[in-house]
Chains A and B, each alone.
Chain A
Amino acid sequence: NAGVTQTPKFRVLKTGQSMTLLCAQDMNHEYMYWYRQDPGMGLRLIHYSVGEGTTAKGEVPDGYNVSRLKKQNFLLGLESAAPSQTSVYFCASSYLGQGNGDEQFFGPGTRLTVL
Chain B
Amino acid sequence: GEDVEQSLFLSVREGDSSVINCTYTDSSSTYLYWYKQEPGAGLQLLTYIFSNMDMKQDQRLTVLLNKKDKHLSLRIADTQTGDSAIYFCAEARGSTLGRLYFGRGTQLTVWP
Contact = CB atoms under 8 A, between A and B. Distances in A.
B52 to A, nearest CB: 11
Interface string B95-108: 00111101111000
B55 interface: no
Interface residues of A, number: 25
A58 interface: yes
Given A40-B8, A42-B103, A104 B97 contact: no
For the complex, would chain A's binding face be called helix, strand, loop or mixed by DSSP majority?
mixed
A43 B45 CA distance: 14
A58 B50 CA distance: 24
Interface residues of B, number: 24
Contacts of B97: 97-100
B24 interface: no
28 contacts: A42-B103, A43-B88, A48-B99, A58-B99, A90-B43, A92-B43, A97-B92, A97-B97, A97-B99, A98-B97, A98-B99, A99-B31, A99-B92, A99-B97, A99-B98, A100-B30, A100-B31, A100-B97, A101-B48, A101-B50, A103-B45, A104-B43, A104-B45, A106-B42, A107-B42, A108-B40, A108-B41, A109-B42
